[in-house]
Amino acid sequence: MDIRKFVVGSFDDEAVLFPAVKKVRKAGYKIHDVYTPFPVHGLDGALGLRDTSLHTAGFVYGLTGLTTALSFISWILTRDWIQNYGGKPHFSLPAWIPIMFELTVLFSAVGMVLTFCYLCQLAPFVKKHVFHPRATDDLFVMVIECTSKTNVKETEDFLAAAGAKEVNVQIAEAGWWLGRYDQDRHLFDNKSETVTA
């Protein structure tokens, strides 16, 4: 378990959020994450996140599919069980192109989705802390992580000054756990005191 203390500021307009992100980063606060109801273009750049290389993974999976199809079919039709189809060559590449193409696409798509779910830790029964229930509706929720040096009060004031409509402090699990969204299991009931501000 990874229980941490967070200062949470909720913005209701992405036009306010962008300068706020800049200010907060400039002031040296550590932004844990920003939760948004839709992909806000440029926000990843503003947060200093590097580009994802998911598409490279997709390319590699695609090549795997292509190689699998070609090697499998050519092994079957020229080695394992040779058959005479209308006197045509056993190694008849043009006729295999459709299946080679389909397997390229299939491997690439399935592989990428699985990788995406793994990287983002998405699966049925996976639960994560919800900082604000409206983060999937109409609020842009900036979560700042408190370190031992953070002055919580000051951080809250800073976020409010940057335009946050709601500011609060939350102690929460930073990662994921197996759980149900209809039940609140307090994983850390007795631990809240141990966290130092």
Partner 1 sequence: MSLIKYESFVREPLVDGEKTYNQVTEDIVYTIEAKPTRLWYIGFYISIALLLFGVYSLYRDVTYGIGQWNLGKTIGWGWDITNFVWWVGIGHAGTLISAILLLFRQGWRTGVNRAAEAMTIFAVICAGQFPIWHMGRVWMAFFVMPYPNTRGPLWPNFNSPLLWDVFAISTYFTVSLLFWYSGLLPDLATVRDRAKTKLRKLLYGIASFGWSGSTKHWQRHESLSLVLAGLSTPLVLSVHTIVSFDFATSVVPGWHTTIFPPYFVAGAVFSGFAMVQTLMLITRRVMNLQDYITLGHIEAMNKVIVLTGSIVGCAYLTELFIAWYGANPYEYDIFFKYRIAGAYGWSYWLMMTCNVISPQLFWFKKLRRNIGFTFFMSIVVNVGMWFERFVIIVSSLYRDYLPSSWSLYYRPTIFEIGFYLGTFGLFFTCYFLFSKYFPVIAIAEIKSILKTSGESYKEKMADLENLSVEEFYAKTHDHH
The CA distance from 56 to 62, in Å, is 10
| Residues 142-171 contacting partner 1, CB under 8 A | none
Pick from 67, 176, 187, 188 the residue near partner 1 by CB under 8 A: 176
How many helices (H) and strands (E) the chain has is answered by: 5, 6
The CA distance from 105 to 108, in Å, is 5
The answer to whether 92 contacts partner 1 (rule: CB under 8 A) is yes
Pick from 88, 149, 193, 194 the residue near partner 1 by CB under 8 A: 88
If the CB atoms of residues 121 and 151 are measured against partner 1, the closer one turns out to be 121
If the CB atoms of residues 28 and 94 are measured against partner 1, the closer one turns out to be 94
The answer to whether 122 contacts partner 1 (rule: CB under 8 A) is yes
If the CB atoms of residues 28 and 124 are measured against partner 1, the closer one turns out to be 124
| First and final C-alpha spacing in the chain | 18
Pick from 29, 35, 146, 172 the residue near partner 1 by CB under 8 A: 35
Side chain identity, residue 86: G
Alpha-carbon distances, residue 75 vs 1, 67, 169 (angstroms):
50, 12, 62
Strands (E), 36-178: 126-128, 140-145, 166-173, 176-178
Task: State the burial class of residue 116 (Cβ atoms within 10 Å of its Cβ: 0-12, 13-18, 19+).
Answer: middle
How many residues of this chain bind partner 1 (CB under 8 A)?
70
The answer to whether 93 contacts partner 1 (rule: CB under 8 A) is no
Q: Would you tell me which residues interact with partner 1 (CB under 8 A)? A: 15, 18, 33-44, 47, 49, 51-52, 54-55, 58, 62, 72-73, 76-77, 80-81, 83, 85, 88, 92, 95-96, 98-99, 101-103, 105-106, 108-110, 112-113, 116-117, 119-128, 130, 133-138, 141, 176, 180-182
